[in-house]
Structure 1
Amino acid sequence: MFGSNVLDIAIGLIFTFLTVSLIASTVTEALSSAMSWRANTLFEGVKKLLNDQNFTGLAVDIYNHGLVNSLSSGTATAGTSPPIKPSYIDPKLFASALTDVVNLNPAQTLTELKASISTVQDQQLKDVLNGIVDRTNGNFSQVRDEIASWFDQSMERVSGSYKRKTQLWSLIIAFVVAVALNIDTVKIAATLWDQPMLLKGISPQPGATAQQALAQLEQLKLPFG
């Protein structure tokens, strides 16, 4: 009996916490969308990748390229954040855009590819592209694949930064929700101990929205709010 009650309380608390978590994640996602966190984080990542923090060089051309930023008019100006920024860039499309911007094409020989790369202003980026051309012996298809792989690996670190930011905000929002709803773990546990039949109303629905989960929690008459 004792073990059964403890298990019931654990189930009730888990459902309560999952509801708060769902509310927090929904609010975080809405905030992320409204504030364009994903697009802005990607924008900063691309600028760092191209060593163009001031947005005055290759990053401008990349963000004006139709393959990368198809929804924009392609008229972003140097030093000014683009009015429209994509929230995701396909690595292969980035590679194609970069080869276009640097004027690399399949018809070029190894020497001609390096001549085009020599026009790149940033020395580190120039070394990266020359290294890719050397490793692939000037095979354009392989050059593009390596650029895509380089971009993809770099964006994994950017993705990690974005996840840490959203996790922090989810934690903050979850705390605010818990305080706003006056969710007291001790009181809820005590109520479930005294009234185990309340758990009969718990039936989590897969894919339930935050509003649906909160409504179900309210129906249980638990001490919160």
Structure 2
Amino acid sequence: MFSNLAIDVALGLIFIYLLYSLLASVVQELVARIFNSRARLLTKGLRRMLEEDDHSKDLGWFGKFTFFNWFYELGWSVVYFFEPFRKNPFLKKFYSTPSIRNLGENSATSRPAYISPQIFSQTMVHLLRGSVQEHKGTDAQAIKAALTHNYLHLVPDTREHLLQLFEDAGHNTAAFRINMEGWFNETMTRASGWYRKQTQTWLLCMGIAIAALFNVDSIAIARILMKDKNVRSQMVQLAASRAPGYTAITDTLIRKNVLHKDSAFFRADTSVRILVSDTSLLGVYALLRADAGDAANVLGISRACVTDTTGGHMTMHCGYTHPFQQNGWLVFAGWCITALAISLGAPFWFDLLGKVVKFRTTQPPADTPGNNTTATH
């Protein structure tokens, strides 16, 4: 069996990163459920489609710089968190229609986390058609009148885009719906990118907090694994015993929480909700928390308070017990490395762990007589 110091150290570090990445993902999922993050991001995508949502012009000359825009948009995100339909009458009307309102789970999560393209286009047609007083003509005539006279008070850009889509459809209602569904899918593809970016930011922030809370010092862990053969062996055994159980967690909690083929956005009726309930999610957290404790015990990294009676006075000193954690700056650097590793996500470390384990357990090719011969002159 092929094994050496570098491979075992790498295996131990990868297992630690996988373990805490999964822990961060579980916490992030719990936070997302508490704050209904997916539904809020879907609302943001629809706001960009149906209402004017570009606040950079409010900054004037400063709006040209990403730095100022980021903080300004962050402020608006807080505003929209409490007032999702602020200055967005059409968006509020859109969510008030029965076809959208009835998709909400309950009063606490009244806005759905997923809307199919077909429901979106159907709702838009209903709103446009219903805005025409005493409609007696065809649906196409009603839609044309609604857009021409702007009965719904759409912002200029949205109204102009819908008019162009209607003209591209040749004033055919069915074709117009298909065009709107394509527009919806394209916008939701962008929204899924926003969610991934938001998730990675959350993982980085949680990674820093988790690294500090659990004292996951990458530098100290690497030094321990390189110096202590017994710890290295125990960590490899722990990784081999726990990794198979993480397969279901990674595939269920992370990989299947993906985009739906119809809308390129998150479905509320699949992903975690159907596979992991809130109670089960807490159970997964408890399991990972226990594994984190086992890993910490193997590594011997912990915090403790020591009583010092030197000089006849009793004083209490609290800090790190391991000799590899005596430099505070190195400890902080080790936490930062861990946080960056966690931000890469559990699937990355899970796949890498599988490759390293496979490489480690691969038998080297047997030597053949031809390989042992030396050239003679």
Aligned to 1:48: 48
Q: Report the identity percentage.
A: 24
Cα separation, partners in 2 of 1:24 and 1:145, compared to 1, 3 Å = same
Q: Which runs of 4+ in 1 moved over 4 A?
A: 109-112
Aligned to 1:96: 122
User: Counterparts of 1:45-194 in structure 2 under 5 Å?
Assistant: 45-51=45-51, 54-71=86-103, 84-103=110-129, 108=138, 110-118=140-148, 119-122=151-154, 123-193=156-226, 194=228
1:223 equivalent in alignment to 2:303: no
Cα separation, partners in 2 of 1:176 and 1:61, compared to 1, 3 Å = same
Equivalent-residue separation in structure 2 for 1:55 and 1:98 (angstroms): 19
Shift, 1:69, TM fit: 2.4
Asked if the contact 1:19–1:210 (Cα under 8 Å) also holds between the matched residues in 2, the reply is: no
Which one has a bigger Cα radius of gyration?
2
Equivalent-residue separation in structure 2 for 1:56 and 1:181 (angstroms): 44
Cα separation, partners in 2 of 1:218 and 1:40, compared to 1, 3 Å = same
Of 257, 263, 287 in structure 2, the residue corresponding to residue 212 of structure 1 is 287
Structure 2, unmatched stretches of 5+, are 54-85, 250-283, 303-377
Equivalent-residue separation in structure 1 for 2:179 and 2:36 (angstroms): 29
Moved more, 142-151 or 57-66: 57-66
Equivalent-residue separation in structure 1 for 2:112 and 2:39 (angstroms): 6
Shift, 1:61, TM fit: 1.8
Equivalent-residue separation in structure 2 for 1:109 and 1:212 (angstroms): 57
TM-score by length of 2: 0.52
Equivalent-residue separation in structure 2 for 1:191 and 1:83 (angstroms): 47
User: Number of aligned pairs?
Assistant: 216
Structure 1, unmatched stretches of 5+, are 73-81
Aligned to 2:267: none
User: Counterparts of 1:12-27 in structure 2 under 5 Å?
Assistant: 12-27=12-27
- Which whole-Å deviations, capped at 9, do the CAs of 1:186-213 have from their partners, x for residues lacking one? 3323333312321223221212434334
Cα separation, partners in 2 of 1:143 and 1:169, compared to 1, 3 Å = same
TM-score by length of 1: 0.83
Matching residue's letter, 2:291: Q
- Which whole-Å deviations, capped at 9, do the CAs of 1:43-73 have from their partners, x for residues lacking one? 232223111663443212210112222156x
RMSD: 2.8
Shift, 1:166, TM fit: 2.0
Shift, 1:134, TM fit: 1.3
Equivalent-residue separation in structure 2 for 1:85 and 1:43 (angstroms): 8
Query: Tell me, what secondary structure is at the counterpart of 1:85?
Result: coil
Equivalent-residue separation in structure 1 for 2:193 and 2:31 (angstroms): 18
Moved more, 165-174 or 191-200: 191-200
Equivalent-residue separation in structure 2 for 1:109 and 1:219 (angstroms): 66
- Which whole-Å deviations, capped at 9, do the CAs of 1:53-96 have from their partners, x for residues lacking one? 63443212210112222156xxxxxxxxx972112221210110
Equivalent-residue separation in structure 2 for 1:113 and 1:201 (angstroms): 64
Matching residue's letter, 1:218: G
Cα separation, partners in 2 of 1:144 and 1:161, compared to 1, 3 Å = same
Aligned to 2:28: 28
Aligned to 1:197: 233
Moved more, 23-32 or 63-72: 63-72
Asked if the contact 2:94–2:100 (Cα under 8 Å) also holds between the matched residues in 1, the reply is: yes
Equivalent-residue separation in structure 1 for 2:294 and 2:237 (angstroms): 11
